[in-house]
Amino acid sequence: MDNISVFFQKDRLTQDEIVFLRNHLKAEADFSNYGEIFIKHGILDNIGVDLLLKKANENQLKLISSKTLPIKYEMYPILVFLMVKNYPEHYRLIFEFIRDFDLNVKRNIVRDNLFTGKYLYFLCKLMKNDPQFVAELISASKIDDDTLKIIISSTEPEVLFRISNLKHLLIKNVNIIRGILNNPYTPDESVIALKQLLVDINEESIELEKDAVTENQDKKDEEEKPKTFIDKIDKEIEESLSQKISKMSTPEKIKLALKGNKSARMALIKDPNKQISTSVLDNPKITEDEISFIAKNKSTPEHIMREIVRNNTWINNYNILRDIMFNPKTPIDITMAQLGKMSVSDLEKLSKSKDIPSALKNQAQRMFIVKTVKK
């Protein structure tokens, strides 16, 4: 550390010297005799020196993370760094400290040269569900295979959407693409795009292999067709999802039901826990086509049918209403109450159906007769 003792004698430092001193904070060394240098040149304040010398106790860390102590705005990045370096076991407090920062502070933290290597990866693990933080990582070109491997486990759809658009990076690592696809929080539009990216990569690989085959070699068996390849990807996603859900707690399943993609929604709508399956219907990304599929499915539980009927938007969609009415498992009180909304042609079909309850069938026949007679 003798190479920084010379700064005791200096009254002012150049920008390069300040950068030099700041970078020294990454060193695994004894700073006990050098705290004054960092204070003298405005690199640290007293709080920072306590963090540097590992003198801060848990209560002090709590005060720092709650922003109760007076801290200069420009000190935030370096204090975060010192907490990450010297107090990683208090990751929850560090997360709380960073979480509520405004965009400018998060930007300053991400772009600070102190955050490279293991310190950057630690931050990524903490902040992988923060869209602002990830956006700044992308903007600062601090996204690589190692950071991507961390971020692809995010449970925030917006984060996954952002990294799904980094095709120039993803195309270099198929395993990362598969990792994003196997994440049930990946938005549906990203799933579609990434599947196509895998198809493109696969087809390009096939072409390269074909080019390598000489005329004297026997031709290989026919390569995988795009449709078969997509089916293979879908099966992999389904198996991965099933494994993940089986290990989830009820709160985790509810969170996934509320924020997950179509694959997650279709899996969790079948969950025997009513709180979980009902939460799927509150997912803002659920489509009317999905509701239609659920409404016509004979295995859809009664409580889900009742929730669909309570939603004015869905029940006023005639396709959904029709699927409900022709589903033999729909509770009779629902179908009887909605029968008057059916078209004449559908009343006739209901009156002739062999699947629906006889009471509904007979009532549909009576209503059909009344409506056709009136005409």
Per-residue pLDDT tens digits for 341-371: 999 999 999 999 999 999 999 999 999 999 8
Tokens representing 152 are 């692809």
Residue 351 belongs to some domain of the structure:
no
Q: Which residue has the higher pLDDT, 30 or 227?
A: 30
Same domain, 118 and 1: yes
In-domain check, residue 32: yes
| 234 is a domain residue | no
In the predicted model, what is the mean pLDDT of residues 150-178? 95
Nearest-angstrom CA–CA distance, 269 and 265 = 6
Q: Out of 82-91, 222-231, 247-256, 298-307, pick the least confident.
A: 222-231
In a domain? residue 183? no
**Is 211 within the bounds of a domain?**
no
User: Which residues are CB-contacts of 330 (< 8 A; sequence separation ≥ 6)?
Assistant: 305, 324
Indicate if 129 and 265 belong to the same structural domain. no
Range of the domain at 335: 245-341
SS3 state of residue 221 = coil
Q: Cα-flanking dihedrals φ and ψ of residue 331, to 5°?
A: -55, 140
Token digits of residue 181: 């696809």
136 and 252: one domain?
Answer: no
Question: Side chain identity at 231, as an amino acid letter?
Answer: D
Closest by CA to 110, choosing from 76, 73, 161, is 76
Nearest partner of 257 among 197, 310, 307, 329, judged by Cα: 307
Hey, what amino acid is at 22? R
* Residue-wise DSSP of 313-329: HHHTSHHHHHHHHH-TT
Quick check: 72 pLDDT over 90? Answer: no
Mean pLDDT along residues 124-151: 95
| Domain end marker among 96, 117, 142 | 142
| Confidence at residue 225, expressed as pLDDT on a 0 to 100 scale | 55
Could you read off the pLDDT of 266-314 as tens digits, one per residue?
999 999 999 999 999 999 999 999 999 999 999 999 999 999 999 999 9
pLDDT, position 277 = 97
* Residue 295: burial class (beta carbons within 10 Å; 0-12, 13-18, 19+): buried
Q: What does pLDDT average to over the chain?
A: 90
User: For residue 375, what pLDDT band results from cuts at 50, 70 and 90?
Assistant: low
Q: 289 to each of 235, 286, 318, 343, how far by Cα in Å?
A: 22, 8, 12, 20
Domain count, the chain: 2
Among candidates 289, 232, 269, 166, which has minimal Cα distance to 260?
269
- Cα–Cα distance for residue pair 324/314, rounded to 1 Å: 11
- Residue range 157-179: mean pLDDT, rounded: 95
Question: Exposed, middle or buried, 82 (CB in 10 Å: 0-12/13-18/19+)?
Answer: buried
89 inside domain: yes
Q: Per-residue pLDDT tens for 184-204?
A: 999 999 999 999 999 888 876
Q: 108, 142, 176: which is the final residue of a domain?
A: 142
Question: What is the rounded CA–CA span in Å between residue 112 and residue 90?
Answer: 21
Residues 3 and 136 in one domain: yes
Q: Is the pLDDT of residue 127 over 90?
A: yes
Tell me: pLDDT of 211 over 60: no
131 and 7, same structural domain? Answer: yes
pLDDT (tens digit per residue) in 110-121: 999 999 999 999
For residue 207, what pLDDT is reported? 55
Quote the pLDDT of residue 231: 85
**Location of structure tokens 């700041």:** 22
Residue type, 110: V
**Terminal Cα distance for the chain, rounded:** 99
Residues of the chain with pLDDT > 70, as a percent, come to: 91
pLDDT tops 60 at residue 215: no
Cβ atoms of 110 and 142 closer than 8 Å: yes
